[in-house]
Copies of this chain bind each other. A is one copy, B any other.
Amino acid sequence: MNETIRTLLNHRSIRSFTDERIPQERVDLLISAAQHAATSNFFQQYSIIDVTDPEKKKTLAKIGNQYYIAEADRLFVLVIDMHRNAKIAEAKEQPTDVLSSTDFFFRAFSDTVIAAQNIVAAAESLGLGTVYLGSILNDPQAVIDLLKLPKFTFPAFGIAVGYPNQSPQLKPRLPKEAVYFENEYRSAEQSLETLKNYDHDVNQYYDLRDANRRVDTFTNQIAKAVSGKQSEAKKKMLETLRSQGLVQY
């Protein structure tokens, strides 16, 4: 096993950070790692917004309902971005209808997330802690307004990066058989029966992590989450996507 794989296998989300600042040349390395990732057809359809304004960080922390968002030294918002290519096409008097398609949305979404994971892997290899912040999508329109995201762009998620002030245990993952198949999808291997041992492992993980808090199983967590209530902003997410010019067909 090499250093890269060791880094990837050691991933933990970090939600508490020290006050130590990340040197600018390290931030530059993270962005460079993102930029060197693969992109669909070399279209490079993503952007990265480095939110350094403390007020904006606080607003994002409020949207995400997670105070630690504002405490990390760096807060990146990863943006699905076809605006740049729309401008290029318009300047050359070409139509841009295709950027509104689900096809192009898939490409840009993939580009964005691939670049994001390079930031996370690079950061962790440098001893930094990271956490993905899907929670900023609690209110996508508020993020769009805050960061002035134009037509053909949409926030995918945030990533907080800083020096870790905690050292959480590795969370047990689903058994390989549940997520990895040969030649075709096999639904049966995802039955509750096969997840029993895994439920036990997850339960033990939570028990060890914090004796005073929830002790839950994976399948109970999923059942609860799936039956939970969505906010109005989340129910409107497709509408918001479409008002940005995306996923029209």
| A29 CB within 8 Å of chain B | yes
- Expressed in whole angstroms, the Cα–Cα distance for A117 and B8 within the complex equals 10
Cβ of A191 and Cβ of B47 under 8 Å apart? Answer: no
Convert A206-233 into 0s and 1s, putting 1 for each residue whose CB lies closer than 8 angstroms to a CB of B.
Answer: 0000000000001111111111101000
| A7 CB within 8 Å of chain B | yes
- Expressed in whole angstroms, the Cα–Cα distance for A5 and B92 within the complex equals 37
Which A residues between 88 and 134 are near B, CB-CB below 8 angstroms? 88-89, 91-92, 94-96, 98-99, 101-103, 106-107, 109-110, 113-114, 116-118, 120-122, 125-126, 130-132, 134
Cβ of A222 and Cβ of B182 under 8 Å apart? Answer: no
Interface size on A, residues (CB 8 A): 117
A contact patch SS: helix
- Expressed in whole angstroms, the Cα–Cα distance for A137 and B89 within the complex equals 23
Cβ of B91 and Cβ of A192 under 8 Å apart? Answer: yes
Which B residues are in CB contact (< 8 Å) with A95? 226-227
Cβ of A94 and Cβ of B183 under 8 Å apart? Answer: no
Q: List 16 A-B contacts (CB under 8 A).
A: A8-B121, A11-B37, A35-B173, A42-B171, A47-B180, A49-B181, A50-B183, A51-B182, A53-B183, A56-B183, A79-B185, A85-B222, A98-B226, A109-B113, A113-B114, A147-B184
Binding site for B on A (CB under 8 A): 1-5, 7-11, 13, 28-29, 31-33, 35-38, 40-44, 46-53, 56, 79, 81, 83-89, 91-92, 94-96, 98-99, 101-103, 106-107, 109-110, 113-114, 116-118, 120-122, 125-126, 130-132, 134, 137, 146-150, 153, 156-157, 170-171, 173-174, 176, 178-185, 187, 190-192, 195, 218-228, 230, 234-235, 237-238, 241, 247, 249
